[in-house]
Structure 1
């Protein structure tokens, strides 16, 4: 590699790392990015036009391809070869790692919902968890910039759970599907509103990215750049500035400090050669994902930082949160045998149900909200077909055809509050292939989340029955709720707050203990609202990298 005088090293190429790299290089700052996974080019590697029928097991999920044979995550998942993690004896937690250039942005659902004023100040409202160290008004202009840069389709709804974007920022949403309109009509009878989902999928061309042509699942990856991933947007944009260099297959072992405890750089393992490489750097940004960044910091203990790097508060690895997840579906009689037509759209739900209960929250037995994502429409057949079937031969085929496109599924995604039982630390006995101590997870849902899931399942049942479905007895929430980490929204392990006594970073993602160490992934979240976290990760990274660029240019860092 040619000599490159970097001013900042960024660990991670996903939502936070790539956005930070784009913002810094745009300002003329030289950035060196390290990615633990392999290089990946979605323009040449995506199986966009492959069908389930062409895949083993009709494309069904397997233990090494959790989301189906053609999922864009090539080498990652909840289990990664040579990279174990552990849990305590009483915990059940799943840790998703992408291990490829672009990180989880190659795989994510691309739901892009702004956190609202009440989301940033939850503790002020109900006394639980922690407030963020800024107001919605402080971050709103950065949401505007992020949505414009990324390309988000949707509409302004005027709902308190969905802050509006300025005119011209959002691209037009796709037309709702027939089953989604039926859901909207049923929900309206109960005072609940269904609206267009905000999604990071282009419905109009933008820069060098084409508009979605509604043909293949976004989860396969997107060679035309319509479905947002950093490998077709932010990383190429950073490259074009001339201020960006990239090293893949670089497994970071630790962040290094001097005798005064100041960060001096980091050490990584070249996974191809197993060589240990030390880099000096004036500034280090960790954006490797909430749990990986916390793992690196915990593994970077030194005499100056005996409990882990930048952990004088004792909050590093604590406050681990995921979104709650549960689901309920049924076959809708009115949708059986409807005419067949192309109902693909941008493959995910076109309408969804945002949280409607903020004003009635005090009457509920749980403190924070949830939303429903909808699974509907004509989908490419796979190894499993929805519906209740009986018979044999021709009659069975007729029944399968009648049920095709007739099911509706409500996927609940809700806010979790931090609790003392949910955290990560370092396993004292287990290391990965490269001798790096692994993360150990501790997990327990609280009554807040279990009561929320019970309410959501009952609401989903009510809506399904309003549409004419027959719904049986609901499972208890302890059985229905997803495992910790299963929704892949883990955040909070290096949270930001106003005080160094109860947080790891300030509002800029700058660690209180080490001014030249920053965290720019979901680890900084002070709470985990029910909305998907990626848009806010990118927005914070843009805002905080912009602030960091100013600090570097002024000579403060």
Structure 2
């Protein structure tokens, strides 16, 4: 990119946070509450809690054309259109997702990069499933030799899991499992009758420790007070933005907390593209930004920089941050920056129909499902898999079908209408979420031959699942089928979809933590080894993927790192 006029902002901040999603919101909150004057940047538009949720109260009949997508929408949001049958591009939520023609990337292999460019990022649209990682997850790389050893263990992060869970409000049930540590949970949501039946049958029919529980979800329950938030209302419209603050988002929770301190300056429409390295101090001096609307360029100075722009977003900025000292990207002495991209693999599992509960129903629209924790490769012979390492869990739900079953009915007239006014038969489905190993050749790189409208390089994304994941998927489907059959359900069918990286929206890696600067980018405090005033705490920092949803871990790592940064700043007035 040709460098032109840059306006240097006169204020020197104590800290700059790049990004406002689950990680950026936590960085802002912790730094501001520690007294640091903090500039928070987001490349997208401002989103104010409640007032900027345009579809939060709309019903299905309030949308034109019954919510059908136009060909233009599918063209401009072709990535989102390829996922979940295009549900993300329906009018209730498509405004949260980027225009792919305006924000292109290059798929060397099939890759779905789901993005939301606005204040709050994907914290508005996330699935909210919140599970701790276990000691076996942090030890896995060392024990089986894949990737590099994590520089931390469960006990290092456990107090921060406590803090995050209590603040965001995670509901669920503690189980005393080594592979899924207990947490600071509020009252669990209730399983419905079929889910309870499946729970009982799994417990009775399998002797390898597998079990079914309600999901642990960042939807508020119980009587704990959370400022500005009320309990979940069971509307199941979370992806639209919740006016009740019933689920955790940066907009409803961490950013307001940061703002209450008076220490935060939030600047939307600010595309960070370079962290500037000062060769004399051997530290970063600030961040270069393009105004997304005017295309003016600014340089903001700070003592501490937090990269929280998402796995791929943060690493893209680091790769663009070149200097004589770091010709291949800031902190890239190891050559690992941009490599080891991971995502969970899913779109595999089973479904079935259930008889015998026709007199039962359920109340409300529960924004949560059941969870079956990992039961493979737990360190004993009974759970050891023969042909793959690591493990997987399942998420699923049971429900009654609705009037849409009429599509396949060979009937008409009054009898059909009367029948469709009744609930349909019960169905249950479960989807596996499997761990992906960290492969060096799964990577992102900058493409200077294809620039975006701001003159920045686009990204080439080259990643795929490999043999270990494919063998794991076979077991994921077979065991899902086995559990539904063991429960005595009808028409059990295995599901095996295509495994595409990015589709699970759990991208991780590319700036991994590690003990050795020669093989990793970050140290045990999430600092760049050679540039210790730059912290990376979003998914880019992950050295492995486990099989649990990762957002809770991002938040805990961020809270831990931000408090470390604040402590060092107060001691030295620089890191």
Equivalent-residue separation in structure 2 for 1:379 and 1:53 (angstroms): 20
Alignment equivalent of 1:371, drawn from 393, 404, 407: 393
Once residues 319 and 528 of structure 1 are traced to their aligned partners in structure 2, the CA distance between those partners, rounded to angstroms, is 10
**Deviations 1:400-433 (CA, angstroms, capped at 9, x unpaired):** 6677362212111111001133111111311111
| 2:95 aligned counterpart, secondary structure | coil
- Deviation of the 1:324 alpha carbon: 0.9
Partner residue in 1 for 2:437: 417
Of residues 15, 18, 38 in structure 2, which corresponds to 1:11? Answer: 18
Distance 1:361 1:447 in 2: 20
1:393 aligns with 2:412: yes
Structure 2 counterpart of 1:54: 62
Aligned alpha-carbon RMSD (Å): 2.4
**Greater strand share, 1 or 2?**
2
Aligned counterpart, 2:206:
190
CA distance in 2 between counterparts of 1:138 and 1:245 reads 31
Q: 1:256-299 CA deviation, whole Å, 9 max, x = no partner? A: 22344532212111111111112222221110001000001111
Q: Identify if the C-alpha distance between structure 1 residues 110 and 387 changes in structure 2 by more than 3 Å, giving closer, same or farther.
A: farther
Number of positions where the alignment pairs a residue of Structure 1 with one of Structure 2? 541
Which residue in the other structure is 2:6 paired with?
A: none
- Cα separation, partners in 2 of 1:452 and 1:145, compared to 1, 3 Å: same
2:375 paired with 1:356: yes
CA separation in 1, counterparts of 2:408 and 2:352? 11
Q: Is the 8 A contact 2:192 2:362 kept in 1?
A: no
Q: Hey, what's the Cα distance between the residues in 2 that align with 1:442 and 1:216?
A: 35
* Partner of residue 239 from structure 2, selected from 192, 216, 219: 219
8 Å contact kept, 2:43–2:268: yes
Gaps of 5+ in 1: none
Say which SS state the counterpart of residue 273 (structure 2) adopts. strand
**TM-score where L is the length of structure 1:** 0.91
Matches within 5 A, 1:229-244: 229-244=249-264
Give the Cα separation in 2 of the matches to 1:553 and 1:460.
53
Q: Residue 82 of structure 1 aligns to a residue in which SS? A: coil
> Contact 1:14/1:102 (CA < 8 Å) preserved in 2?
yes
Query: Does the CA-based 8 Å contact 2:42-2:119 persist in structure 1?
Result: yes
Matched, 1:206 2:226: yes
Give yes or no for contact 1:378–1:404 (8 Å, CA) kept in 2. Answer: yes
Counterpart CA distance in 2 for 1:201 and 1:380 is 26
Correspondence for 1:24 among 25, 31, 40 = 31
Structure 2 unpaired stretches of 5+: 1-8, 81-85
Deviations 1:316-339 (Å, cap 9, x if unpaired)? 010100011123443413167444
Instruction: Identify the residue that residue 441 of structure 1 maps to in structure 2.
Output: 461
Match of 2:186 in 1: 171
The match for 1:153 is 171
Which one is further off, 129-138 or 11-20?
A: 129-138
Residue pair 2:354, 2:425 contacting (<8 A) in 1 also: no
Structure 1 residues 60 and 218: alpha-carbon distance in aligned structure 2, compared to 1, 3 A threshold = farther
Contact 2:275–2:321 (8 Å) recurs in 1: yes
Q: 1:451 to 1:125 in 2, by over 3 A?
A: same
Q: In 2, are the aligned partners of 1:122 and 1:129 still within 8 Å (CA)? A: no
**Which of 300, 305, 308 is the matching residue for 2:326?**
305
Contact (CA 8 Å) 1:70, 1:220: kept in 2 or not?
no
Distance 1:268 1:396, change over 3 A: farther
Relative to structure 1, is the Cα distance of residues 378 and 213 closer, same or farther in structure 2, using a 3 angstrom cutoff?
Answer: farther
d(CA) in 1 for partners of 2:440, 2:406:
42
Name whichever of 59-68 and 356-365 sits farther off: 59-68
Q: TM-score, normalised by structure 2?
A: 0.89
Aligned pair 1:296/2:317, yes or no? Answer: yes
CA contact (8 A) 1:496 1:505 kept: yes
Residues 11 and 300, structure 2, Cα contact 8 Å, conserved in 1: no
Change (3 A) 1:405 1:242: farther
> How far apart, CA to CA, are the structure 1 residues paired with 2:194 and 2:454?
50
Question: 2: distance between equivalents of 1:80 and 1:430?
Answer: 14
Q: CA 1:390–1:275 in 2, change beyond 3 Å: closer, same or farther?
A: same
Taking the aligned partners of 1:5 and 1:233, their CA distance within structure 2 comes to: 27
Q: Match of 2:518?
A: 501
Structure 1 residue 465 displacement after superposition:
2.6
- Residues 9-66 of structure 1: CA deviation (Å, up to 9, x unaligned): 1100011111011111111011000001111123123323322233345446773464
Task: Please say if residues 34 and 247 of structure 1, whose CA atoms lie closer than 8 Å, have aligned partners that are also in contact.
Answer: yes
Listed as ranges, the matches of 1:28-107 within 5 Å are 28-46=35-53, 47-56=55-64, 58-59=66-67, 63=74, 64=77, 66=86, 67-69=88-90, 71-72=92-93, 74-77=95-98, 80-88=100-108, 91-107=109-125
Contact (CA 8 Å) 1:321, 1:418: kept in 2 or not?
A: yes
Distance 2:401 2:276 in 1: 50
- Residues in 1 aligned to 2:549 and 2:432: alpha-carbon distance in whole angstroms: 12
Q: Which residue of the partner structure matches residue 481 of structure 2?
A: 461
Provide Cα deviations, 1:136-178, integer angstroms capped at 9, x if missing partner: 111111111111111111121012221123xxx3110111112
Deviation at 1:397, TM superposition (A): 5.3
Q: Distance in 2 between matches of 1:31 and 1:405?
A: 55
CA contact (8 A) 2:215 2:368 kept: no
Secondary structure in structure 1 of the residue aligned to 2:347: strand
Q: Using the alignment, how far apart are the partners of 2:410 and 2:285 within structure 1?
A: 70
How far apart in 1 are the matches of 2:406 and 2:213? 27
Distance 1:135 1:431 in 2: 41
